[in-house]
Amino acid sequence: MAEEDETPTPTTLRQVMWDGQKHFSRSLPCDSDGSLLCTEESFEGSDEKLLAMLGDMARGDPEQDAPSRVLLDECGALWEEVTHVKTGKGSPSETWGNTVHTEAEAQREMQLRLRRELRHLQERSHRQHQESAAFMQRLSSAREALAEKIREARSENEELRRQLRHVKERVGCNSCSLSESIRELNAHAAELQAEIWEVSDCQVNLVDQLHEASETQARLQAELQRERVKTWRQSTDVVMAFAGGKDMKEIEREESERQLLEAQLAEVAERAAACGVPPLLEQDPETAEATLAMYGDVEVPFSTVQRYLEEMEELRAELQTLEQGVGSNDGEAEERLNSEQEELSALQAELIDAEARAESSKQDLEEATSLFSTLRVEVNSEQDVLRQAEQAATSRRDLFRSQVEEKRRELLKMQETTDTLIDDLNTKGCFWSLRQEVPKEVHAEGRHHPTRLRFTP
């Protein structure tokens, strides 16, 4: 019977499936949307081919799921029943009617099961598509969150860098101003030191001048004392001459003798001074008076006494003039010394103030340096945190990408499996032999009308 209606065996069916797929797909009736158009006439002569193909698929594809294998087993059982019915006893018309009725029921049941399986596959594909969309949405949201965090970290990093540049500029300005201030203070200190040395030299000169003035004053006072002693002596001589009644000639003679004695005495004093003997007039007044008492009986003329008195007055006037000049010089020296001391005190105060400002500037520089170090440590810590956040975000992004790729591969695999199963199911409808002539008229209960079956992937 299989040879008469050209029913293929499992071997020929496999060859027809894989070698003649394009030929059968061209000869299939299709609808306008590309779906297969199956009629009862096309089902009447090729149930055996379809069941043989399903059995061969059940034996050759161990990776299909359990419901398909169960369906294929049931198809095999139906095929055995049909074969048993075809080879059984009975009239040809009854056998043909029973066969057609059984085949139609088996075909309807198989179509229902195939539709259920297709619906399950479509639901599974739709569910996987939803999961993939959810994963993609999560990935996009994670990317947006990561981009937002990276933008925030970049803005914070830019702000920290701006603050660091500002602090560097401030530190540079403070360093420049501090170095300039230190240079100015050093120059001012050098000037003050030079002025101090100059004032010290002036002070030393003034002290020397004061010592010289003091020595001059002491010398003038000694000369004044000598002149006083000399005047007193001359006045004593004049008084003694008037008291003794001597004339002027004798007084003049005594005066000449006295001058000669004084010249000799001066010469002796010079020799004594050269030999290291102190002069007699530098002794105290009592000793000088006792020394001069020996010459108390000498008579002195009045003209000599008057001349001596005039000379004494002139010497006194000169001495007063010298004293006034020395006093004015001493006053000017003291005033200059006081002014120089005041200037020196002012310069010392300015030097102390400059040292205090330099110390405060040094403290400001140390504080700025410490702040700069602290800010640098904070910037390094922020950069470490940002680097860790970027690494964590990169790891999460890689994990999401791997999960999405895995889900995508699973989805593609399931889509390929679904497409393969749909192609197989569509191909199974192509194996109904169009060359077989289906009887146009059979029994009333066996008449079938064409029906449309759509296998929507």
In this predicted model, what pLDDT tens digit does every residue of 218-241 receive, in sequence order?
777 777 777 777 777 766 766 666
pLDDT of amino acid 280: 46
C-alpha to C-alpha distance for 448 and 39, rounded to whole angstroms:
9
Does residue 45 have a pLDDT over 70? no
pLDDT of amino acid 247: 56
pLDDT of amino acid 34: 44
Predicted TM-score of the model (pTM) = 0.30
C-alpha to C-alpha distance for 178 and 369, rounded to whole angstroms:
13
pLDDT of amino acid 37: 44
- Single out the residue of 428, 358, 340, 396 nearest to residue 16, CA to CA: 428
- Convert the chain into a string of H (helix), E (strand) and C (coil): CCCCCCCCCHHHHHHHHHHCHHHHHHHCCECCCCCECCCHHHHHCCHHHHHHHHHHHHHHCCCCCHHHHHHHHHHHHHHHHHHHHHCCCCCHHHHHHHHHHHHHHHHHHHHHHHHHHHHHHHHHHHHHHHHHHHHHHHHHHHHHHHHHHHHHHHHHHHHHHHHHHHHHHHHHHHHHHHHHHHHHHHHHHHHHHHHHHHHHHHHHHHHHHHHHHHHHHHHHHHHHHHHHHHHHHHHHHHHHHHHHCCCHHHHHHHHHHHHHHHHHHHHHHHHHHHHCCCCCCCCCHHHHHHHHHHHCCCCCCHHHHHHHHHHHHHHHHHHHHHHHHHHHHHHHHHHHHHHHHHHHHHHHHHHHHHHHHHHHHHHHHHHHHHHHHHHHHHHHHHHHHHHHHHHHHHHHHHHHHHHHHHHHHHHHHHHHHHHHHHHHHHHHHHHCCCCCCCCCCCCHHHCCCCCCCCCCC
Stretch 194-220: mean pLDDT: 77
pLDDT of amino acid 97: 60
Encoded tokens for 361: 């500037």
Does the residue 426 lie in any domain? yes
Does the residue 25 lie in any domain? yes
Does the residue 115 lie in any domain? yes
Stretch 384-402: mean pLDDT: 83
Which tens digits make up the pLDDT trace of 251-306? Answer: 667 677 767 767 766 666 666 556 554 454 444 545 545 554 554 444 555 566 56
C-alpha to C-alpha distance for 296 and 281, rounded to whole angstroms:
17
pLDDT of amino acid 429: 56
pLDDT of amino acid 118: 80
Beta pairing partners, 154: none
Stretch 124-136: mean pLDDT: 84
Residue 321's alpha-carbon distances to 209, 222, 327, 329, 331, in angstroms, are 18, 16, 10, 12, 15
pLDDT of amino acid 433: 39
pLDDT of amino acid 84: 65
Angle, CA 261 vertex, CA 258 and CA 265 arms, to 5°: 135
Does the residue 169 lie in any domain? no
What torsion, rounded to 10 degrees, do the Cα atoms 195, 199, 200, 205 define? 140
In terms of pLDDT, which residue wins out, 438 or 56? Answer: 56
pLDDT of amino acid 321: 74
Stretch 32-60: mean pLDDT: 52
C-alpha to C-alpha distance for 296 and 414, rounded to whole angstroms:
162
In terms of pLDDT, which residue wins out, 50 or 454? Answer: 50
The percent of residues above 90 in pLDDT, for the chain, comes to 0
Encoded tokens for 418: 């679904």
Does the residue 351 lie in any domain? no
Which tens digits make up the pLDDT trace of 87-123? Answer: 554 445 555 666 677 777 877 888 888 888 888 888 8
* Domain membership of residue 437 as a residue range: 10-148+399-446
Does the residue 408 lie in any domain? yes
pLDDT of amino acid 441: 42
What is the overall mean pLDDT for the chain?
Answer: 67
Residue 2: how many CA atoms within 13 Å on its side-chain side?
A: 15
Does the residue 385 lie in any domain? no
For residue 36, report the phi and psi dihedrals to the nearest 5 degrees. Answer: -75, 140
In terms of pLDDT, which residue wins out, 68 or 321? Answer: 321
Stretch 336-361: mean pLDDT: 77
pLDDT of amino acid 380: 81
pLDDT of amino acid 2: 39
**pLDDT grade for 446, boundaries at 50, 70 and 90:** very low
In terms of pLDDT, which residue wins out, 195 or 301? Answer: 195
In terms of pLDDT, which residue wins out, 284 or 377? Answer: 377
Does residue 30 have a pLDDT over 80? no
- Ranges 212-221, 280-289, 356-365: which has the least confidence: 280-289
Does residue 7 have a pLDDT over 80? no
Residue 92's alpha-carbon distances to 101, 312, 442, 444, 447, in angstroms, are 14, 196, 12, 16, 16
> How many domains does one find in the chain?
1
**pLDDT grade for 72, boundaries at 50, 70 and 90:** low
pLDDT of amino acid 451: 40
Does the residue 96 lie in any domain? yes
For residue 158, report the phi and psi dihedrals to the nearest 5 degrees. Answer: -65, -40
